[in-house]
Amino acid sequence: MAPPREAARVYPPKPTDVYLFGTCVIDLFFPDAGMDSIRLLEREGIKVHFPQAQSCCGQPAYTSGYTEEARAVARAQLQLFAADWPLVVPSGSCAGMFRHHYHELFKDEPAALQQVEALAARTYELAEFLLHVCRIQLSDTGAPVKVALHTSCSARRELGTHVHGRALLAQLGAVERVDHAYESECCGFGGAFSVRLPDISGLMVLDKTTALKDSGASEVVSADCGCLMNINGALEKQGESLRGEHLASFLLRRSGGK
């Protein structure tokens, strides 16, 4: 069961340095989303540190019941993000793993648990960090467009960061965010879920893509590349031209690039 949505956080002043956790899906399939996340942060005057040894957050192993394997992966990440800088994650799913599920993995290891709790307190999903820590102000340089925002289950139900993506899009004067049916529903990716239960996953993403096409949006935006991979793959199979883009890339492009 997913943890309850978090209470309101107290946000610190904008830091000079941050870590970026790249995520597996960004690293392998959406590298531009990672680079655009860095560009947005650097444009705010922040130095971004990207430890090259970082790997998976451990979520696929954890949700598949491979607790020991997930713990080993998580332990390696703890060692990489040891400095007292915020950890910015361009994925609600991975941010939720750091903020909530590492605690479960290390609940019987007091020394490691202390590290986990300290890291969780300084871990931020990208949209949340841009809005509440950077207090970013965006100016729209693009033509009028209708956009549908898809929010991952972790971002919506564990972190509550779906409201942050909406707030950032609202700063772009020529962008109209349109509602769509199944807006609060899973796209069917769910990490290893889509591999274990592909038939169910396929029906879920069919509902999602149908709703997105019916919304009247010409673009789809999401802050989670796992969802984008599933949604874009389904749209491509359907022969549709509609595609999704990571929120970081969309914000950077609409606000004048670097």
User: Which CATH number belongs to the domain containing residue 239 in this structure?
Assistant: 3.40.50.11810
Tell me if 104 sits within 8 A of 61, measured CB to CB. no
- Residue 42 in any domain: the answer is yes
The reply to whether 82 and 164 lie within a common domain is no
Q: State the average pLDDT over residues 59-63.
A: 92
pLDDT for 183: 87
The Cα diameter of the chain in Å comes to: 54
What contacts 109, CB < 8 A, 6 or more positions away? Answer: none
Pairing of strands 87-89, 123-125: parallel
The reply to whether 175 and 224 lie within a common domain is yes
Instruction: Determine the residue type at 77.
Output: Q
Q: How many domains does the chain have?
A: 2
The reply to whether 148 and 169 lie within a common domain is yes
Starting at the edge strand that comes first in sequence, how are the strands of the sheet with 145-150 ordered? 175-177, 145-150, 219-222, 244-246
Of 73, 104, 132, the last residue of a domain is 132
The reply to whether 152 and 218 lie within a common domain is yes
Of 132, 164, 192, the last residue of a domain is 132
Can you tell me the distance from the alpha carbon of 167 to that of 99, in angstroms, rounded to the nearest whole number? Answer: 22
At 160-189, the pLDDT tens digits run 888 999 999 999 999 999 999 988 889 877
Can you tell me the distance from the alpha carbon of 157 to that of 159, in angstroms, rounded to the nearest whole number? Answer: 6
- Residue 6 in any domain: the answer is no
At 12-47, the pLDDT tens digits run 999 999 999 999 999 999 999 999 999 999 999 999
Of 129 and 202, which is predicted with more confidence? 129
The reply to whether 127 and 156 lie within a common domain is no
- Residue 93 in any domain: the answer is yes
The reply to whether 149 and 113 lie within a common domain is no
The reply to whether 75 and 144 lie within a common domain is no
Can you tell me the distance from the alpha carbon of 141 to that of 213, in angstroms, rounded to the nearest whole number? Answer: 25
pLDDT for 7: 64
Tell me if 39 sits within 8 A of 252, measured CB to CB. yes
The reply to whether 108 and 144 lie within a common domain is no
- Count Cβ atoms within 10 A of the Cβ of residue 135 and give its class: 0-12 exposed, 13-18 middle, 19 or more buried: exposed
Mean pLDDT of the chain: 93
Of 81, 113, 132, the last residue of a domain is 132
1 confidence band (pLDDT: 50, 70, 90): very low
- Residue 215 in any domain: the answer is yes
The reply to whether 93 and 188 lie within a common domain is no
Tell me: pLDDT of 196 over 60: yes
At 207-245, the pLDDT tens digits run 999 999 999 999 999 999 999 999 999 999 999 999 999
- Residue 7 in any domain: the answer is no
The reply to whether 65 and 171 lie within a common domain is no
What contacts 163, CB < 8 A, 6 or more positions away? Answer: none
- Residue 84 in any domain: the answer is yes
258 confidence band (pLDDT: 50, 70, 90): low
- Residue 12 in any domain: the answer is no
What contacts 82, CB < 8 A, 6 or more positions away? Answer: 115
Which candidate, 229, 226, 201, 205, places its Cα nearest to that of 60? 226
The reply to whether 122 and 221 lie within a common domain is no
5 confidence band (pLDDT: 50, 70, 90): low
- Residue 37 in any domain: the answer is yes
Can you tell me the distance from the alpha carbon of 23 to that of 18, in angstroms, rounded to the nearest whole number? Answer: 16
Q: Which domain holds residue 72?
A: 17-132
Tell me if 13 sits within 8 A of 46, measured CB to CB. no
Of 220 and 2, which is predicted with more confidence? 220
Which candidate, 87, 66, 82, 113, places its Cα nearest to that of 23? 87
The reply to whether 120 and 61 lie within a common domain is yes
Least-confidence region, from 67-71, 84-88, 204-208:
204-208
